[in-house]
């Protein structure tokens, strides 16, 4: 298929094979029986059948898999072909990437990075079908570019590629890879920073970027104290720099990370959470490029408000649940006119609303918003969000949403 890259073709073959298998295994208990027949764990089989996972069966397992299914010979051969072409194109994608050569990549590192950042923006703000593919391409491409370039060759490209891959890894539910990609930026030796970035403001920009990426990775691993500590380090760097531009660029993101970490602290102060959200809003409002009239300023404020709403829910009483409803309903209404909002942002809001209505005792609304969040996350390939949603469902509810998928 000349109109697809090998990696895109591999993803397409895997999607067709997985959807075919899902259709054959609709009957309750059929997946467990197949796992026993193949001699694999049900969990491993679920990875193979997950549309948003990257795993594919080995040729030997694929042969046993298609042989165990109730298929006509021609159907069996077609399914086998898709499974094998997925493997072949994955290998071809890796081979093509390495054949391109380290020298070629280094000569065009800035262009590769530009394409990567463009793909990342399409993943974050594009239609769900685009996001589903682009996040995987960004993850693979960012990891490869960072590996080839390295901090000594081009520190800026290395950092940007590492952290765009980190962002995609978070979305795809690869928390270990996300932490690795962020921490390798933190571990760049000081002499490389001094040689590559003579401008101190630029150096602090990238150091703060790396610290906040690490904070997000810690959050997804449940290490909320470590997340908050990273935010404190980043805030100290920004205070030391003393430049308005850096503070306006990073403080809203930093305060959102702090708010997300704080709400998981035992017996946290809701007053402190409100204060953090207020400080973030003040920065957004006074920032020359992030005014509330700008699309990005609106998105930042939206995310801060969603986090504040979640803080009210986690420290819930009737009064705080009412506050959460006002905040989150305002965010929900804002979706209609926000020009810059993507599937991840919508999913975060829908999950928060489901949790709020669950605390309020409205199970009908809870199920409605959980189903909506699940559909959004599934359509866009937001594997991490999808896993979080499934964890909140009972077995019966999980079966219902997966059946409706």
- Structural contact between residues 309 and 324, judged by C-beta atoms closer than 8 angstroms: yes
- Give the C-alpha separation, 161 to 362, whole Å: 44
Q: What's the full length of the chain, in residues? A: 405
pLDDT of 200 over the 70 cut? yes
Best-predicted range by mean pLDDT among 36-40, 90-94, 106-110, 165-169?
165-169
Q: pLDDT grade, residue 292 (50/70/90)?
A: low
Mean pLDDT of the region 122-133:
90
Question: For residue 102, what pLDDT is reported?
Answer: 65
SS3 of 68, please? coil
Q: Helices 128-153 and 155-171 meet at what angle, rounded to 10?
A: 150
Q: Name the token pair of 193.
A: 């920073």
pLDDT of 289 over the 70 cut? no
Specify whether the backbone of 213 is left (phi greater than 0), alpha (psi in -120 to 50) or beta.
Answer: alpha
- 132: part of which helix (H) or strand (E)? helix 128-153
SS3 of 223, please? coil
Mean pLDDT of the region 169-177:
95
Q: pLDDT grade, residue 207 (50/70/90)?
A: very high
Q: Among residues 142, 139, 121, which one has the least CA distance to residue 130?
A: 121
DSSP category for residue 289: S
Question: For residue 404, what pLDDT is reported?
Answer: 58
More confident residue, 393 or 84: 84
Mean pLDDT of the region 227-247:
93
Question: For residue 392, what pLDDT is reported?
Answer: 82
Q: pLDDT grade, residue 129 (50/70/90)?
A: confident
Helical spans, DSSP H, in 197-269: 200-220, 224-241, 244-262
Question: For residue 90, what pLDDT is reported?
Answer: 76
Angle at 258 between CA 254 and CA 260, to 5 degrees: 115
Report the share of the chain in percent with pLDDT over 70.
94
- Structural contact between residues 270 and 312, judged by C-beta atoms closer than 8 angstroms: yes
More confident residue, 86 or 114: 114
Best-predicted range by mean pLDDT among 129-138, 142-151, 162-171, 393-402?
162-171
- Give the C-alpha separation, 183 to 188, whole Å: 9
Mean pLDDT of the region 78-99:
80
- Give the C-alpha separation, 343 to 149, whole Å: 31
Hunting for tokens 């040689």 — which residue is that?
Answer: 195
Hunting for tokens 């531009």 — which residue is that?
Answer: 245
Q: Helices 109-125 and 155-171 meet at what angle, rounded to 10?
A: 30
Instruction: List b or e across 138-160, with b for residues whose CB sees 16 or more CB atoms inside 10 angstroms.
Output: bbbbbbbbbebbbbeebbbbbbb
Question: For residue 71, what pLDDT is reported?
Answer: 85
Instruction: List b or e across 255-292, with b for residues whose CB sees 16 or more CB atoms inside 10 angstroms.
Output: bbbbbbbbbbeeebebeebeebbebbbebbeebeebee
pLDDT of 394 over the 80 cut? no
Question: For residue 132, what pLDDT is reported?
Answer: 86
- Structural contact between residues 381 and 131, judged by C-beta atoms closer than 8 angstroms: yes
DSSP category for residue 362: -
Q: pLDDT grade, residue 97 (50/70/90)?
A: low
- Give the C-alpha separation, 113 to 108, whole Å: 9
Question: For residue 199, what pLDDT is reported?
Answer: 84
Best-predicted range by mean pLDDT among 17-26, 54-63, 320-329?
320-329
Roughly how many angstroms between the first and final C-alpha of the chain, as a whole number?
28
- Structural contact between residues 309 and 328, judged by C-beta atoms closer than 8 angstroms: yes
Hunting for tokens 């590559």 — which residue is that?
Answer: 196
Average pLDDT, the chain: 89
Q: Name the token pair of 169.
A: 């890894």
Mean pLDDT of the region 340-364:
95
Instruction: Give the CB-side neighbour count of residue 133, counting CA atoms within 13 A.
Output: 16
Angle at 304 between CA 302 and CA 308, to 5 degrees: 115
Q: Name the token pair of 232.
A: 């404190």
Phi, psi of 256 (to 5 degrees): -65, -45
Question: For residue 100, what pLDDT is reported?
Answer: 61
* Residues 6+ away with beta carbon under 8 Å from 58: none
- Structural contact between residues 316 and 274, judged by C-beta atoms closer than 8 angstroms: no
Q: pLDDT grade, residue 403 (50/70/90)?
A: low
pTM of the entire predicted model: 0.77
Question: For residue 332, what pLDDT is reported?
Answer: 96
pLDDT of 98 over the 70 cut? no
């Amino acid at each position: 298929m000349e109109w697809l890259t090998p990696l895109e073709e591999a993803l397409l073959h895997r999607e067709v094979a997985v959807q075919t298998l899902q259709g054959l295994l609709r009957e309750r208990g059929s997946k467990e029986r197949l796992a026993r027949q193949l001699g694999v764990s049900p969990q491993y089989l679920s990875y193979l059948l997950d549309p948003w996972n990257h795993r594919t069966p080995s040729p030997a397992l694929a042969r046993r898999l298609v042989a165990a299914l109730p298929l006509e010979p021609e159907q069996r051969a077609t399914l086998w072909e898709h499974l094998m072409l997925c493997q072949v194109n994955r290998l071809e994608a890796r081979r093509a990437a390495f054949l391109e050569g380290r020298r070629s990549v280094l000569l065009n590192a800035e262009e590769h990075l530009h394409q990567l950042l463009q793909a990342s923006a399409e993943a974050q703000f594009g239609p769900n079908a685009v996001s589903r593919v682009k996040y995987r391409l960004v993850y693979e491409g960012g990891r490869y570019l960072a590996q080839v370039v390295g901090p000594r060759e081009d520190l800026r490209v290395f950092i940007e590629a590492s952290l765009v891959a980190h962002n995609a890894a978070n979305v795809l539910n690869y928390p270990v890879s996300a932490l690795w990609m962020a921490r390798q930026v933190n571990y760049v030796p000081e002499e490389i920073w001094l040689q590559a970035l003579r401008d101190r403001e630029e150096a602090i920009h990238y150091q703060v970027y790396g610290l906040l990426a690490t904070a997000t990775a810690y959050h997804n691993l449940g290490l909320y104290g470590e997340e908050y500590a990273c935010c404190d380090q980043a805030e100290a760097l920004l205070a030391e720099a003393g430049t308005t531009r850096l503070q306006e660029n990073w403080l809203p993101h930093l305060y959102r990370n702090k708010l997300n970490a704080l709400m998981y602290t035992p017996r946290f102060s809701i007053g402190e959470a409100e204060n953090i959200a207020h400080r973030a809003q003040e920065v957004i409002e006074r920032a020359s490029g992030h005014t509330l009239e700008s699309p990005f300023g609106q998105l930042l404020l939206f995310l801060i408000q969603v986090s504040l709403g979640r803080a009210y829910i986690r420290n819930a009483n009737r009064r705080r649940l009412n506050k959460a409803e006002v905040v989150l309903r305002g965010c929900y209404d804002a979706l209609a006119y926000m020009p810059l909002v993507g599937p991840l942002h919508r999913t975060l809001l829908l999950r928060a609303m489901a949790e709020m209505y669950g605390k309020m005792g409205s199970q009908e609304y809870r199920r409605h918003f959980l189903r909506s969040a699940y559909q959004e996350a599934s359509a866009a390939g937001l594997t991490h969000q999808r896993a979080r949603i499934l964890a909140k469902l009972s077995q019966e509810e999980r079966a219902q949403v997966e059946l409706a998928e």
